[in-house]
Amino acid sequence: MLSYSNPCIWGLLLLVSAGCAQVENTIEDYDRFEEEDEASERGSRQYFPKIGLVRFENSVCTTQEGYMGTCVTKKQCEYSDGLQSGSCTTNGIGRCCLIQRTCGESSAFNNTYFSSTNYPNTFNEDSSCTFTIEACPGNSCQARIDFLSFTLAQPDGNGNCVDDSMVVTGSGGNVPVICGENSGQHIYVTFVGNNSITITISTSSSVDLQRSFNFLITQIACDCPTLAPAGCLQYYTDLSNTVRSFNYGSQINGAVVTYVNATTVAGTRQLANTNYGICVNMVAGYCAIQWAQSSDSTSFTVTGNTALIEVVTGLPNDPLYGAACTTDFVVIANPYFSNGVSVNTDRFCGNEFDTVYTNSKPFVLTTVTDADELGSDDVANRGFSLTYTQQACRGNNALLQLTG
């Protein structure tokens, strides 16, 4: 018999209005489940006749607290250790079911919230918290993890997550070790076959900080158009949005870097050892993309002595290109300036980012940081906050650009 505590069965039965549906389900199945279940609870084998036939979709619903839930019956929600929060069908049969999990647990349910123990309360101690995202065999190919809230300790002055860290294992794509402040960021992870993916968050009491985290994990079916292309750790679908490096933030990292001669300089907020794609889905009717520094004057501080340049000349200042960028940089394929002149290189670093455009598809900005921020003199870097704007196709050129 089908088990309604198995989300993979749900997944197969789901009628998802978002267009990534597998097989249609009707309330008939659920009625039967509930009746069988209630019968077995009473120790009876009697099959109760149906009271009525009602259909509803297991669509995404909003719980009373404003979280994402799935519309299911009361029993299904109980069996999946969910929290019923409000009704999601007019007849009152459907309950909006919230799936919340914490350290040491796992889930294969779509729209699972994984949060630190006793969230939204914070914690400040040594800990190691593991969570497992299970794949539904043959159904889920990726998961999107939204960092609704993510506060861990800053990296050391060289950008390494030595005290606190989030490590993802089992994903087909390369996921960097992440720490610091990352609320509002997201990542895509890719299931390898039917294997699960594990998130491990470790914290060290050597840093006195009130931490907490709360993630929303969305599973993406293999036939779903919202799958991120290969190589994209982050994926944006809007016409325009702002993308930031991990741990981008306004406060200076309290950690310092000490040179061999014992001089100390302010540490970086950029995370070391990253190399990933930030991809943008090209919207129909749009042929090019503009990348620009966010309005804030220090929103592109990637290499060099940021602290010194800010004091001496003010920021933004010192855009660097091409061969000058060997340690930490961003890459945009075939970029040109607003006057149409080619940049003649695809690498950007330094402390200023001049607005550029590209027609190269897919739209992707690759970001690279090296293992060590000491040797490359990366003083007080924040990383980057760049705003992209897709550019509408224009006249005949549009056709050329689309096919070219």
Ligand X SMILES: *[C@@H]1O[C@H](CO)[C@@H](O)[C@H](O)[C@H]1NC(C)=O
User: Do 187 and 279 form a contact (C-beta atoms < 8 A)?
Assistant: no
Q: Which is nearer to ligand X, 11 or 277 (CB)?
A: 11
- Distance from C-alpha of 223 to C-alpha of 139, rounded to nearest angstrom: 8
What is the rounded distance in angstroms from the CA atom of residue 384 to the CA atom of residue 353?
A: 9
Site string for ligand X, 43-82 (x = CB under 6 A): -----------------x-------x--------------
Least gap, CB of 334 to ligand X (angstroms): 33
11 touches ligand X (CB under 6 A): yes
Q: Interface with ligand X includes 224 (CB under 6 A)?
A: yes
Distances (CA, A) of 210 to 151, 186, 255, 264, 292: 8, 21, 17, 27, 34
**In sequence order, which ranges of 56-185 are alpha helices (DSSP H)?**
74-79
- Under rule CB under 6 A, how many of the chain's residues touch ligand X? 22
Q: Which residue is nearest to ligand X (CB)?
A: 137
Q: According to CB under 6 A, which residues from 233 to 262 bind ligand X?
A: 259, 261
When asked if residue 140 is in the footprint of ligand X (CB under 6 A), the reply is yes
* DSSP designation for 53: -
Helix residue ranges, H only, 238-394: 306-312
| 194 contacts ligand X (rule: CB under 6 A) | yes
The two structure tokens encoding residue 214: 């709360």
Out of 219, 298, 351, 376, point to the residue binding ligand X (CB under 6 A). 219
319 and 350 Cβ atoms separated by less than 8 Å = yes
Q: Among 37-45, 120-128, 135-143, 281-289, which window interacts with ligand X (CB under 6 A)? A: 135-143
Binding segment for ligand X (CB under 6 A), chosen from 16-24, 94-102, 242-250, 332-340, is 16-24
Q: Toward ligand X, which CB reaches closer, 184 or 285?
A: 184
CB-wise, 193 or 340, nearer to ligand X? Answer: 193
Assess 7 for contact with ligand X (CB under 6 A): no
d(CA 32, CA 53): 11
Cα dist from 186 to 84, 215, 247, 332, whole Å: 27, 9, 12, 21
Closest distance to ligand X from the beta carbon of 355 (Å): 32
Contacting ligand X (CB under 6 A), which of 13, 14, 161, 368? 14
Distance from C-alpha of 383 to C-alpha of 247, rounded to nearest angstrom: 8
CA–CA–CA angle 393, 395, 401 (5° rounding): 50
Q: State the minimum distance, in angstroms, from the CB of residue 194 to ligand X.
A: 4
Nearer to ligand X, 94 or 249 (CB): 94
Q: Which is nearer to ligand X, 8 or 153 (CB)?
A: 8
Distances (CA, A) of 269 to 5, 31, 124, 381: 43, 54, 21, 6
CA–CA gap between residue 38 and residue 75 (Å, rounded): 9
Binding positions for ligand X, rule: CB under 6 A: 11, 14, 16, 18, 20, 60, 68, 110-111, 137-138, 140, 193-194, 218-221, 224, 259, 261, 263
